[in-house]
Amino acid sequence: MVSLSADVAIVGAGNAALCAALAAAEAGAEVVVLEAASKDERGGNSTYTAGAMRVVYDGVGDVQKLVPALGQSEIESTDFGNYSFGDYFDDMARVTQYRADQDLLEILIRRSFSTLEWMQGKGVRFQPSYGRQAFKVDGRFKFWGGLVVETWGGGSGLVQALFDGAAAAGVRVIYEARARELTFEAGRVAGVRASLRGGETLDVAVSAVVLASGGFEANSEMRARYLGPGWDLAKVRGSRHNMGDGIRMGLEAGAEPYGNWSGCHAVGWDMNAPAYGDLAVGDGFQKHSYPFGIMINAKGERFLDEGADFRNYTYAKYGREILAQPGQFAWQIFDAKVSHLLRDEYRIREVTCVQADSIADLAAKLEGVDAAGLEQTVAAFNTAVQTDVLFNPNIMDGRGTEGLAVAKSNWANPLDNPPYKAYGVTCGITFTFGGLHIDGEGRVLDTAQDPIPGLYAAGELVGGLFYFNYPGGTGLTSGAVFGRIAGSGAANYVTPK
């Protein structure tokens, strides 16, 4: 048995957890972080992300506040647009089918910009997300989809900056310490018990705990139990350590289950990717340029509207659609007209790609696909495209199809310019939507919706924000906003001011 004490314990070491640690330390608390992973695998799912953060901003002036090094040439050659509180709120409400907790949602949006400024003060650097959120048309970049900045160095750069900030703030990090149990005295949090590598037990005596250890996406048993049959077969995009421990500990302490427990963020993911995330590849296994092509299943048939909305608003739900197909796979098909629009992830060395100079030859090469069915699908699709409407990747251009059982609403182009390329994808789960109920101060609520004294939560294990779907870049922002709130709240609970 190993024992130590602190004011606040943070369970987890990703973006939400480290923002909580920094905020608690800033408020004067002695902070210890318990990380289940080794130092080499630290950072939870945050390490695997591209680092995009959805934030309210009012034009290029606000972008410059987050990116002070933004050059005049970039300003002159770019339409950064803007993204208001109303835009953010409407996007979240729409994609979650108006189920998102409005109180939490308002806090997330109103504090998004100030939280990114605070992170910048802690050493996190931002840059315009040119490679993922802007297309160049007539010599000028234009941002689309409400996302304008990402962290320098992606997820790994974000995590490194936050760890550097935590070290400078005197935060203690204990690796390979998997939190297992919360302890209480007189109904208040008194500590957290963890298992160390080798089987030894660590007892940390504290007055407050922030749970920020992710959802249950890496736990195949919990996925099948809550998400449904077949979800145990999904690949995991990120950390193998997000086993739902924080959620379980919260529920055992009397927390109210909250949110969309049968829902998750899941995307198109390379069919030959490993079972869990690969830090060397990061998020490169994702395949998110599908709006510019078609996606077919084993029958050779299209099964979803690839152009229903901007990729930001469909990619997190289309993994579920792929998982539901025969064999749990699909192929994304493009021709040479749009090859320059494909994201960098289509060019990684590990990509599953088939190429041919005719649709017939391509169909014959796609393992497990009905070749005749695919040829029929492409022929029908090509005939249905509304070629009289101008193609424009920066807007929802209305260039769709007519007369198909499964329409394509935007960015439809006939597949008629070889070579043709097909990319094999399956379902990659990112994080789960169900979790613990918190209030606007980050306090975990019990089944009577009263705060559990000394218990706070942030990040993916918080329920109530996401239902059915997810607007890209909101996860890191949510983790940072509520991590900061929870960390400050925990510190102030221990040493009231």
58 exposed, middle or buried (CB, 10 Å; 0-12, 13-18, 19+)? exposed
| pLDDT reading at 179 higher than 90 | yes
> Where is 163: in which H helix or E strand?
helix 154-168
For residues 262 and 266, give the distance between their C-alpha atoms in angstroms, rounded to a whole number.
12
Q: Which amino acid is at 110?
A: R
| Tens-place pLDDT, residues 338-383 | 999 999 999 999 999 999 999 999 999 999 999 999 999 999 999 9
pLDDT of amino acid 497? 63
Kindly report whether the global pTM for this prediction surpasses the value 0.85.
yes
* C-alpha of 83 from chain center: 19
pLDDT at 426: 98
Question: CATH says 2-216+433-494 is which class?
Answer: alpha beta
28: how many CB neighbours lie within 10 A of its CB? 12
Q: Where are the domains of the chain?
A: 2-216+433-494, 266-428
- pLDDT on residue 216: 98
φ, ψ of residue 313 to 5 degrees: the values are: -110, 5
CA–CA dist 329, 333 (Å, integer): 13
pLDDT reading at 453 higher than 70: yes
Q: Is the peptide bond before 419 cis (omega within 30 degrees of 0)?
A: yes
pLDDT at 137 over 90: no
Average the pLDDT over 398-422 and give the result: 98
Q: Are 99 and 262 in contact (CB under 8 A)?
A: no
Whether 266-428 and 2-216+433-494 are alike in CATH topology: the answer is no
Average pLDDT, the chain: 97
pLDDT surpasses 70 at 491:
yes
394: phi then psi, degrees, rounded to nearest 5: -85, -15
Q: Is 280 exposed, middle or buried (0-12, 13-18, 19+ CB in 10 A)?
A: exposed
CA distances from 451 to 146, 438, 443, 445, 455 (A): 34, 8, 6, 4, 8
Give the per-residue pLDDT at 218: 98
**Assigned architecture for domain 266-428:** Alpha-Beta Complex (3.90)
Q: What is the pLDDT of residue 357?
A: 98
pLDDT tens across 100-125, in order?
Answer: 999 999 999 999 999 999 999 999 99
Q: Using CA atoms, how far apart are residues 465 and 51, in angstroms rounded to an integer?
A: 19
